[in-house]
Amino acid sequence: MRTTPDRRITPAAWWFVAGYGLSAIGTGLCYPFLTIYLHHVRNLSSSATALLLLVLAGVAVPMSVYGGSLVDRHSPRTVGVGALVVQTGGWLLLAGESGYVTQVLALAVIGVGTGLFLPAVIPIIVRLSGTDAAKARTMSLRYLLLNLGLGLGAGLAGVLLGSSSSGLYRALFAVNGVSCLLYALIILLLVPLPSVKPAPDGAPTGKVRFRPSANYILLLAAQLLLVTFGLAQLESGIPLAVRDQLHGSTRLIGLLYAIGTLFVLIGQMPISRLVERMRKTRALIGMALIWALAWLIGYAASAVHGSARSGLLIAMIVTFAIGECAYSPAFYTLVEKLVPAGALGRSSGGAWATFQVGNTVGPPVAVFIIDSDVSFWLVLAAAAAVAAVLLVVVDRRTSLESPPAPVLTTSSN
């Protein structure tokens, strides 16, 4: 008789992802409007504003790698709580009346906290979930609440920030800081972690050597392509291309965002259930091919006009959203499968660092492509197709290989 895998999300996991959604509301209040605040409200030059944003991203990337190492040596719960407290301090510092140097320091502190927190997320979910199905479902719920929280926060801030009051912006930064602190308290009080199995020979988990396998490297290469030429384009390249190349209105751009977000919210959990029954590599291959199809629909939209163009752009964003729903439950579950026990923090840190690199370089890459004679949509489709090929290689290799075995370091430190 065929048994149904246990998909139940534990109470502690519910609290963890609910806190994630709460924190996402605070993030939505601030991140979409941070550039506007720095450039238009604080009257910083374009170069000074860009430098501040690069400080935030530039600090977060290496701290994700370092945070992964901390997670493997210590409790991911402890690292996550400490990182959220650091983020709280950064946002409260930014909320104060401050000069440029203080703003640089505040964004650097926020980058440190963000980078340290992200590698703790997947290890916490893995520890709180008993089965692969439960892990995938919890990761899907986290992604759903992330999108819902960001949308609610950004929508509320958009209404409140009708006037460009510096005090109102700073109040929202403070609220985001408080949301980080509340999330830290939720984890501290309501998210106890079960004990982890000891590494081989009773060695501490931090003693397990992490040597990235070829499969893991190929997976991150595919992720870099999918983020740089996929997810990062939702907030940069697509609006610019729709406006400048397809002569779409800001109303159409807003409609595309609303429809895409709605389909992610509706489709996340049903598609997650489908992903639970699939090999995760094949789910990601399907996602990459669906995204390639979405960009080809965008390319087709450039050949028509009027309502036909609008209809194709809506079909493009819906297709992309359907594929997007497979990303979180498939990718991060696969990261766990490709690394030895005791190295999940470092592998998660590498994955988050790669994500942040793609998210950082995606916007300037989009501007460069759109200003060139190359088709923006075909470049995106080609990148998705290359990512699919890399994932096919990973799928074939993993079907022939045994799971990675832990290797202990010989250092006494």
Q: How far apart are CA 133 and CA 5, in angstroms?
A: 6
pLDDT at 317: 96
Are the C-beta atoms of 5 and 132 separated by less than 8 Å? Answer: yes
CA distance 395 to 211: 20
Report the chain's terminal Cα–Cα distance, integer Å: 50
- State the Cα–Cα distance between residues 107 and 104, nearest whole angstrom: 5
Q: pLDDT per position in the chain (413 positions), as tens?
A: 455 567 889 999 999 999 999 999 999 999 888 888 888 788 888 888 888 888 998 999 999 999 999 999 999 999 999 999 999 999 999 999 778 899 999 999 999 999 999 999 999 999 999 888 899 999 999 999 999 999 899 889 888 886 667 889 999 999 999 999 999 999 999 999 987 655 544 545 556 778 889 999 999 999 999 999 999 998 789 999 998 899 998 889 989 988 999 999 999 999 999 999 999 999 999 999 999 999 999 999 999 999 999 999 999 999 999 999 999 999 999 999 898 878 999 999 999 999 999 999 998 999 899 988 899 999 999 999 999 999 999 999 988 665 555 544 433 33
Does the CA dihedral 27-31-32-37 come out positive or negative?
positive
- Going by C-alpha positions, the residue among 79, 350, 42 that lies closest to residue 173 is 42
pLDDT of residue 99: 87
pLDDT value of residue 342: 85
Compute the half-sphere exposure of residue 67: CA atoms within 13 Å on the CB side of its CA. 35
CA gap 326, 58 in Å, rounded = 28
Cβ-contact 86, 116 below 8 angstroms: yes
- Give the model's pLDDT for residue 5: 62
CA dist 409 and 378 (Å) reads 46
Give the architecture-level CATH label for domain 8-192: Up-down Bundle (1.20)
Q: What's the CA gap between 176 and 91, in Å, rounded?
A: 7
Position 196 scores a pLDDT of 65
How high is the pLDDT of residue 187? 98
Q: Helix-strand-coil percent breakdown of the chain, rounded to 5?
A: 80, 0, 20
- For residue 177, give Cα distances in angstroms to 26, 30, 189, 353: 8, 10, 19, 23
pLDDT of the residue at 53: 86
Nearest-angstrom CA–CA distance, 181 and 78: 14
The pLDDT assigned to 339 comes to 87
Cα–Cα distances in angstroms (integers) from residue 256 to residues 83, 230, 317, in the given order: 34, 15, 7
Please name the helix (run of DSSP H) or strand (run of DSSP E) that holds residue 408, with its range, or none.
strand 407-408
Q: Where in the chain is the domain with CATH 1.20.1250.20?
A: 8-192, 204-413
- Superfamily of domain 204-413 in CATH is MFS general substrate transporter like domains (1.20.1250.20)
- Non-local (6+) Cβ contacts of 207 within 8 A are 199, 342, 408, 409, 411
Which residues, 6+ apart, have CB-to-CB distance to 274 below 8 Å?
A: 283, 326
In this prediction, residue 402 carries a pLDDT of 54
The span from the CA of 30 to the CA of 28, in Å, is: 5
Place of tokens 């977000």: 261
Question: Mapped to the 3 state alphabet, what secondary structure does 320-365 carry?
Answer: HHHHHCCHHHHHHHHHHHCCCCCCHHHHHHHHHHHHHHHHHHHHHH
What is the reported pLDDT for 407? 47
